Amino acid sequence: MAQMCKLAAEGHFAEARVINQRLMPLHNKLFVEPNPIPVKWACKELGLVATDTLRLPMTPITDSGRETVRAALKHAGLL
């Protein structure tokens, strides 16, 4: 994402578009459950945060949500 923004800011729109197209399926799958549940889980899976603990009233990501997001992370080349 940072590289995509950097490229776009520098006017390299074609290169930024390639990254955007690679990440778009992941962006869409991050809404498989209410935000920020899938995002927090993905950040933990990527090692960006230590825990995926959520404040109440949010609940942990479901097994099916976890598998959906994990597959999208793999498809994006992040796992």
pLDDT, averaged per 10 consecutive residues of the chain (79 residues), comes to 95 96 95 95 96 92 97 95
Sign of CA dihedral 38, 3, 75, 22: positive
What pLDDT sits at residue 1? 87
Tokens, residue 37: 């549940």
Give the DSSP letter of residue 1. Answer: -
- Residue type present at position 55: R
Distance, CA of 62 to CA of 12 (rounded, Å)? 39
Name the residue ranges covered by the structural domains of the chain.
2-75
Instruction: Find where tokens 């945060």 sit.
Output: 49
